[in-house]
Amino acid sequence: MSDIQQKIIQLREILRKHNHNYYVLDAATISDYEFDVLLKELESLEEQYPEFDDPNSPTQRVGGTITKNFKTVTHKNRMYSLANSYSKEDLQDWETRVKKGLGTDDIQYTCELKYDGASINLTYKKGQLVSAVTRGDGFQGDDATANVKTIRSIPLLLQNPLLENFEIRGEIILPLKGFNKMNEERIEDGFEVYSNPRNTASGSLKLQDSAAVAKRPLDCLLYQVVGDSKYETHSNTLEQARKSGFKVPVAIQVCNSLAEVLKFIDKWDVERHQLDYETDGVVIKVNSLAQQEELGYTAKAPRWAIAYKFKAEQAISKLLSIDYQVGRTGAITPVANLEPVQLAGTIVKRASLHNADQIEKLDIRINDTVFVEKGGEIIPKIVKVNFDKRPIDSKPVDYITHCPDCNTLLVRKEGDAKHYCQNTYGCPTQIKGRIEHFISRKAMNIDGLGGETIGLLFDAGLLNNYADLYELRVEQIIPLERMAEKSAQNIIEGVQESKKIPFEKVLYALGIRFVGETVAKKLARYFKTIEKLMASDFETLIAVDEIGDRIAQSIIDFSNDLLNIQLVDRLKSYGLQFEIDESQSTVQSAILQGKKLVVSGVFTKFSRNELKQSIEDNGGKVSSSISKNTDYLIAGDKMGPAKRTKAESLGVPIISEEEYITLILS
């Protein structure tokens, strides 16, 4: 084995280990930075020496594969449902059936939590992950391998495989912290929030771009090994799976009686609220694999297992009043004020009512007695009204017709779930919200300014839109509450500094509805200047990859608004970046459509990943090895001599980085 190959293998091993420490054991031993340095080193070696490619290398975690149509795959072993139970009596009945079926009382059970996500079947051959298929109808599912590979806690290569070839099943979940963070970002970008972690997890598996999946904080909890196990019990098999590197939750218990099972259930009915993921029950399984086989299956579910469903924890409260909140985009969200009540370990005083339809659907009225539940969302929800307790004089809720902030008539457009205040430039909450968005970290990242200061500046009449920021003077700020020379100076400096922020972030900062970070980046790269973007018609806009009708219309609305045009003009006059800096970015075109390119060596203008991205952005394909089908070899510094010889012998054109840039700009 060559030194290089050895180095590559060693790096992969080190990274795999750190991945496992971080994502499975939740006990990192190096910093994120150190990890990135190692990963970059491996990335660059792999690209320099594609002959040592490995589809299961840790570098594959970032995704990048596009799946247009997910292949249907027939499961080797059917993925059954589980029978449900809701009470102690149900479980006793099940135990009776099991005992009868086996003709013995000598039975051990395992208790596991029932993870609430999307089930997945992983196939490993010789320690390598070869496929990941969704449950589908139980007989056939979708091949989601490319997407699943991006989930860091799923091992791609096993150091000590528990069996040579096997299938293992688990649940792909979105931990609550990550889910809530995703929703906070959606609110910032003017999108409706995702309704719950389970649907979002299963929706993630259906995304076409695996790089988008890689950005979601998904996790996978394993619960069953399928195949000829050499271990006699389910619990042992899971233990071995854990040792092989899988994330098998520790809350698994072997029980020798139903009484112990019930104890487990009672314990987790309370403690589940401390978990960072949702669980809707406990799964009880016969532990002996031989006994499992003997019991077999009904038409739908194994006889050797049963799910016990927790009762959703509910509290009874009273609806005191409804507040209406105005968002940055003018969207109105009704929020219920409740009589404070204890629920799942916290005191609940407020619950989301989402929109007018929700209020109508629940038929909820002020002073109603209501049932409140807590799911994965940040704020609890009202699930139903106790109509028996409704006061006789109660009246249906009059949904507000005017903005609570500026008193403008609200509008609800077709297809929108919410009402909107359309007084975009006069509604204080919207004005302040837009400025706050503009200065936020992912946008203009203006130091020293926060929501509170924006409020003060607005109230003082110094700030009415984000362009006004650039006209602020130190002596105007100093007299404000809690301001001093130094803090005022900081604000001005932060504002000045923001003029260097690149176009794509400026575009995001403008706060155009539905133009989030990623969309802004796409648009900036495609149109290159704000003029071209704002002058584009609907057809031109939707022709851009990933830009749909809704986004296109929103951009057109923004661009046709005289006030926006003036704002952008002012921002331009202050020197903000409204053009893409060509030296820093790639260009989007179809110039490389159908072409295959190989990248080799080290480059000066691009990192390897940027170069690859650029090829894809221009319609080309990156392949790792040279063949007669290769259209170009882009040669950087330190390219291996073997590569050059091979390209030459196959007649593949070799071009430099500069020649590549000329090519895509032509």
Q: Which residues bind Zn ion (CB under 5 A)?
A: 403, 405-406, 421, 423, 427
546-554 CB contacts, 8 Å cutoff, 24+ apart? 546/518, 546/519, 546/522, 547/519, 547/522, 547/523, 550/514, 551/514, 551/515, 551/519, 554/512, 554/513, 554/514, 554/515
Binder of residue 112, out of Zn ion, ligand AMP, none (CB less than 5 to 8 A by kind): ligand AMP
- In eight-state DSSP terms, residue 655 is E
Q: How far is the CB of 329 from Zn ion (least distance, A)?
A: 11
112 or 405, CB closer to ligand AMP? 112
For the question of residue 76 being annotated catalytic, the response is no
171 or 657, CB closer to ligand AMP? 171
Sheet holding 654-655, edge to edge: 621-622, 596-600, 632-635, 654-655
Binder of residue 11, out of Zn ion, ligand AMP, none (CB less than 5 to 8 A by kind): none
Binder of residue 47, out of Zn ion, ligand AMP, none (CB less than 5 to 8 A by kind): none
Closest by CA to 646, choosing from 130, 169, 51, is 51
Residue sitting closest to ligand AMP (CB): 119
Binder of residue 584, out of ligand AMP, Zn ion, none (CB less than 5 to 8 A by kind): none
Q: How far is the CB of 264 from ligand AMP (least distance, A)?
A: 12
Which ranges constitute the DSSP H helices of 348-484? 356-362, 428-439, 451-459, 474-477
Q: How far is the CB of 119 from ligand AMP (least distance, A)?
A: 3
The angle that helices 562-574 and 549-560 make with each other, rounded to 10 degrees, is 80
Binder of residue 135, out of ligand AMP, Zn ion, none (CB less than 5 to 8 A by kind): ligand AMP
241 or 307, CB closer to ligand AMP? 307
Contact 25, 63 (CB under 8 A): no
Q: How far is the CB of 346 from ligand AMP (least distance, A)?
A: 26
Torsion of CA 610, 611, 617, 619, to 10 degrees: -160
Residues in the chain: 666
Which residue in the list 114, 247, 285, 522 is annotated as catalytic?
114
Contact 510, 434 (CB under 8 A): no
Which residues, in sequence order, are bridge partners of residue 44? none
Give the whole-angstrom CA distance, residue 115 versus residue 71. Answer: 26
179 or 526, CB closer to ligand AMP? 179
81 or 325, CB closer to ligand AMP? 81
How big, in percent rounded to 5, are the helix, strand and coil portions of the chain? 40, 20, 40
81 or 165, CB closer to ligand AMP? 81
121 or 536, CB closer to ligand AMP? 121
User: Residues in the site for ligand AMP, rule: CB under 6 A?
Assistant: 79, 81-82, 112, 114-115, 119, 135, 171, 223-224, 283, 307
Q: How far is the CB of 555 from Zn ion (least distance, A)?
A: 23
Binder of residue 114, out of Zn ion, ligand AMP, none (CB less than 5 to 8 A by kind): ligand AMP
Contact 505, 444 (CB under 8 A): yes
112 or 377, CB closer to ligand AMP? 112
CB neighbours of 361 closer than 8 A, spacing ≥ 6?
none
Binder of residue 405, out of Zn ion, ligand AMP, none (CB less than 5 to 8 A by kind): Zn ion
How far from the centroid of its chain's Cα atoms is residue 140's Cα? 26
Which residues, in sequence order, are bridge partners of residue 189? none
Q: What Cα–Cα distance (Å) separates residue 659 from each residue in 84, 499, 643?
A: 64, 32, 18
Binder of residue 613, out of ligand AMP, Zn ion, none (CB less than 5 to 8 A by kind): none
Q: How far is the CB of 256 from ligand AMP (least distance, A)?
A: 19
Q: How far is the CB of 205 from ligand AMP (least distance, A)?
A: 13
Is 227 exposed, middle or buried, given 0-12, 13-18 or 19+ CB atoms closer than 10 A? middle
Give the whole-angstrom CA distance, residue 496 versus residue 490. Answer: 10
Q: How far is the CB of 272 from ligand AMP (least distance, A)?
A: 13
Which ranges constitute the DSSP H helices of 366-482? 428-439, 451-459, 474-477
Active-site residues, by number, are: 114
